[in-house]
Amino acid sequence: MRGTLVRLGEYNRPRLLQGVVDYLKTQHIDVTIRVLDGQTAELWVQDTHLEKALPIWQQFIRDPHAQQFQDAAWALNQTSPLFTYPSSSLNLMSRAKALDPFVFLTALICFVTFFSLHLVAPEATFHTFQFEKSNVFHWFSPVFLHFDVLHLVFNLMWWIYLGDKIAKQFSQLTLITLFACSALASNWMQYLIVDANFGGMSGVVYALCGFLWLNHSRYPHGPMLLPKAMIGLMLVWMLVGFADILYVSMANWAHLFGLIVGGLLGWGWGKPSGTST
């Protein structure tokens, strides 16, 4: 009886990745490869094979040039490449189809709202999505408001990158829970401390960062989904916002409480797929 597929890891150097895939096969471990783009892929194995596969994967991460990985293709008489390199096309349609549906839908709502806010009905759109304490929908709706192109692109870049990882590494329910809790907390705190004139998904983005940061701190043997340098960058950006030295007004309290909520959920949540005990 076949078990459940669990994520072993992700790697972005295909010529080296071929070696560990072949070696796992020589150990009678079936590998499922999910290509994220032309240069990066995720490796998934049956949960019954995870205990045997994880030390091999960790050894590969430490030394991908080890002789055992280089010799594996010869042992299997493997001649077909793991990857075919993409053309210069961005393949935007295929990338959009590969996104988690909740990630895609949320990004689409943000785009439509941005278009309406700037080109169709600015005042009506703002009041439709502005925070309002007497309406439950408006407790969440400000996350869809973005006031300039940079604001929109920055937030959606992080939302798509981190949100899709969380949905696939944990579950879609994890992402939806994180989205709802962080939107609720960050919007309410920004309103209570400042006012209702704010918008954007930054509080949710900071929650995604906090979730991955604290979850990996608790389960350090799991995959590193958010590099420490990116965590540092986001924290510095938050401090810059609180220092009020930029020409734009930032919803700093939404950022802070989004980070706190995400961190608490990340610490209390279960292990990601492919984590050793």
Q: What percent of the chain has pLDDT over 70?
A: 84
Reduced to 3 states (helix: H, G, I; strand: E, B; else coil), residue 162 is helix
Q: Quote the mean pLDDT of the chain.
A: 83
Instruction: Label residue 210 by pLDDT band (50, 70, 90).
Output: very high
Query: In which element (H, E) is residue 42 found?
Result: strand 41-46
Instruction: Specify if 264 maps to a domain.
Output: yes
pLDDT at 85 over 60: no
Residues 6+ apart with CB under 8 A from 178: 166, 204, 207, 208, 211, 262, 265
CA–CA distance from 235 to each of 28, 77, 85, 213 (Å)?
44, 49, 36, 12
Do both 222 and 255 map to the same domain?
Answer: yes
Residue 25 is part of which domain span?
5-76
Do both 112 and 171 map to the same domain?
Answer: yes
Do both 27 and 144 map to the same domain?
Answer: no
Tell me the chain's radius of gyration from C-alpha atoms.
21
User: Residue 110: its pLDDT value, please?
Assistant: 95
19 class by beta-carbon count within 10 Å (0-12 exposed, 13-18 middle, 19+ buried): buried
Instruction: Specify if 82 maps to a domain.
Output: no
Do both 110 and 62 map to the same domain?
Answer: no
Question: How many structural domains are present in the chain?
Answer: 2
Do both 57 and 144 map to the same domain?
Answer: no
How much is the pTM? 0.68
pLDDT at 211 over 90: yes
What CATH number corresponds to the domain at position 134?
A: 1.20.1540.10
Higher-confidence residue: 153 or 37? 153
CA–CA distance from 154 to each of 10, 111, 169 (Å)?
24, 13, 23
